[in-house]
Structure 1
Amino acid sequence: MEEAISNLLLGNATVAGMVGDRVNWAARPGVDLPAITLHRITGQRDATMSGRTGLVRSTVQIDIWGATYSQAKKLARAVVPALPQTPGATLQGVFINSESDSFEGEDPTPLYRTRIDISVWHQEI
Structure 2
Amino acid sequence: MASAESVTVAALQGLASGGVYPDQAPANVAAPYIVYQSVGGVDETSMDGFEGQQNSRMQIAVWSSTRIEAVEIMQKILRAMTAAPVRGKPVGAPVSVYEDETKLYGSRLDVSIWFNV
Unaligned runs of 5+ in 2: none
Q: 1:100 aligns with which of 60, 73, 95?
A: 95
Which amino acid in structure 2 is aligned with residue 3 of structure 1?
S
| C-alpha contact 1:45 1:54 (8 A) present in aligned 2 | no
Counterpart contact for 2:58–2:111, Cα < 8 Å: yes
Q: Distance in 2 between matches of 1:74 and 1:68?
A: 10
Taking structure 1 as the reference length, the TM-score comes to 0.79
Superposition map of 1:8-19 within 5 A? 8-10=11-13, 16=14, 18-19=15-16
Q: What does 1:37-116 correspond to in 2, within 5 Å? A: 37-86=35-84, 88=85, 93-98=87-92, 99-106=94-101, 109-116=102-109
Identical aligned pairs, as a percentage? Answer: 24
Q: Retained in 2: the 8 A contact 1:22–1:36? A: yes
Higher relative contact order (CA 8 A, sep 6+): 2
Secondary structure of the structure 1 residue equivalent to 2:51:
strand
Residue aligned with 2:10, SS: helix
Q: Distance in 1 between matches of 2:41 and 2:110?
A: 13
Whether contact under 8 Å (1:60, 1:118) holds in the other structure is: yes
41-50 vs 69-78, greater mean Cα deviation: 41-50
Q: Number of matched residues?
A: 112
Moved beyond 3 Å, runs of 4+? none
Residue 77 of structure 1 and its aligned partner are, at CA, apart by: 1.0
2:31–2:63 CA contact under 8 A, matched in 1: yes
Higher strand share goes to which structure? Answer: 1
User: Partners in 2 of 1:69 and 1:3 — Cα distance?
Assistant: 28
Please point out which of 15, 22, 33 is paired with 1:25.
22
What is the CA–CA distance in structure 1 between the aligned matches of 2:98 and 2:11, rounded to whole Å?
A: 26
CA RMSD of aligned residues (A): 1.9
- TM-score after normalising by structure 2: 0.84
